[in-house]
Amino acid sequence: MKDLLRTADLSRDDVELLLATAADFAVNPLKASSALAHRTVAIYMTKPSTRTRLASETAVAHLGGTPIFIRGDDLQLGRGETIADTAKIISGFASALIVRTFAQSDVDELGSAGSIPVINALTDDDHPTQLLADWLTIRENFGSDISGRKFTYLGDGNNMSHAWLIMGAIMGAHVVTATPEGKWAPDAGVIAQARAIAATTGATIEILHDPREAAREASVLYTDVWMSMGDPESERAEKTRVLAPFSVDQDLMSLTAKDAIFMHCLPAHRGEEVSAEIIDGPRSVVWREALHRRTTIQALLFHLTRGEIHGRQ
Active site residues: 100, 127, 130, 224, 265, 293
Question: What is d(CA 134, CA 95) in angstroms, rounded to the nearest whole number?
Answer: 26
Q: Which stretch binds ligand CP (CB under 6 A): 46-54, 165-173, 176-184, 193-201?
A: 46-54
Chain residues 264-303 in contact with ligand CP, contact rule CB under 6 A: 265-267
Q: By rule CB under 6 A, what string of x and - marks binding of each residue 188-207 to ligand CP?
A: --------------------
Chain residues 130-149 in contact with ligand CP, contact rule CB under 6 A: 130
Q: By rule CB under 6 A, what string of x and - marks binding of each residue 86-125 to ligand CP?
A: ------------------------------------x---
Q: Environment class of residue 66 by beta-carbon count within 10 Å: exposed (0-12), middle (13-18) or buried (19+)?
A: middle
For residue 46, give the DSSP letter. S
Which residues are paired to 2 by β-bridges?
Answer: none
Q: Which stretch binds ligand NVA (CB under 6 A): 78-86, 96-104, 154-162, 192-200?
A: 154-162
Q: Does 224 bind ligand NVA (CB under 6 A)?
A: yes
Q: What is the size of the binding site for ligand CP (CB under 6 A)?
A: 9
Q: Does 101 bind ligand NVA (CB under 6 A)?
A: no
Closest-CA residue to 65 (of 94, 39, 31, 87)? 39
Q: Does 161 bind ligand CP (CB under 6 A)?
A: no
280, 286, 287, 289 alpha-carbon torsion, rounded to 10°: 170
Q: Where are the alpha helices (H) located in the chain, listed in sequence order?
A: 12-27, 51-62, 83-93, 104-113, 128-142, 159-170, 188-201, 211-215, 236-243, 250-253, 276-279, 286-305
Q: Does 58 bind ligand CP (CB under 6 A)?
A: no
Closest-CA residue to 229 (of 28, 50, 35, 23)? 50
Report residue 32: phi and psi, to 5°: -130, 55
* Binding site residues, ligand CP, CB under 6 A: 49-52, 122, 130, 265-267
Residues interacting with ligand NVA, by CB under 6 A?
Answer: 122, 158-160, 224-225, 228-229, 265
